[in-house]
């Protein structure tokens, strides 16, 4: 009789009522890989170069060239000793905007200056890493006071 009970137990040993057929095993579950957020534009270089001729006083034209924003403008100085100066070029990440501010100043060794308003042509180049800003705004603060000289879309191609 014990032999018969052992045979029945051995037969039922694999039966627990749960079937493993059709259920997944330890296979890899697909996961979504988050898309990395691109780094924001960052200024790597900025310069101002005096030019020979003005197109339009108190105005600026904004273009792009590769990773650079180029501003060609004409600020009005209060006398013949004034020179254009890049006071600042700042990138505002929240607004995705480059703010360029150009002013005038006389060299410290200037002695005798013509007493007339002068047009001061310039070219500002601001180079970026990680792409260009969406927009660029240029402000002049010269003999005619502070005023916006230009604004343009300069975003990624």
Q: In this model, does residue 141 exceed pLDDT 80? A: yes
Q: In this model, does residue 54 exceed pLDDT 70? A: yes
- Give pLDDT tens digits for 26-43: 556 666 777 788 899 999
19 versus 123: which is more confidently predicted? 123
> Cα–Cα distance between 59 and 74 in angstroms, integer?
6
Q: In this model, does residue 82 exceed pLDDT 80? A: yes
Q: In this model, does residue 17 exceed pLDDT 50? A: yes
Domains of the chain by residue range: 42-153
Pair 146, 139: CB distance under 8 Å:
yes
Residue 9, pLDDT score: 46
Residue 13, pLDDT score: 54
108 versus 149: which is more confidently predicted? 149
């Amino acid at each position: 009789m014990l032999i018969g009970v052992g045979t029945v137990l051995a037969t039922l040993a694999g039966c627990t009522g749960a079937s493993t057929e059709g259920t997944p095993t330890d296979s890899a579950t697909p996961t979504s890989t988050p898309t990395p957020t691109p780094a924001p534009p960052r200024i790597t270089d900025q310069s101002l170069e005096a030019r020979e001729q003005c197109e339009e006083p108190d105005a600026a034209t904004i273009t792009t060239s590769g990773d650079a924003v180029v501003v060609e403008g004409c600020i009005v100085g209060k006398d013949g000793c004034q020179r254009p100066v890049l006071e600042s070029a700042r990138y505002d990440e929240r607004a995705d905007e480059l703010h360029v501010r150009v002013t005038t100043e006389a060299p410290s060794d200037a002695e005798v200056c013509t007493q007339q308003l002068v047009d001061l042509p310039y070219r500002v180049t601001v180079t970026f890493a990680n792409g260009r800003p969406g927009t660029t705004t240029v402000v002049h603060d010269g003999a005619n006071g502070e005023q916006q000289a230009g604004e343009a879309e300069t975003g990624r191609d």
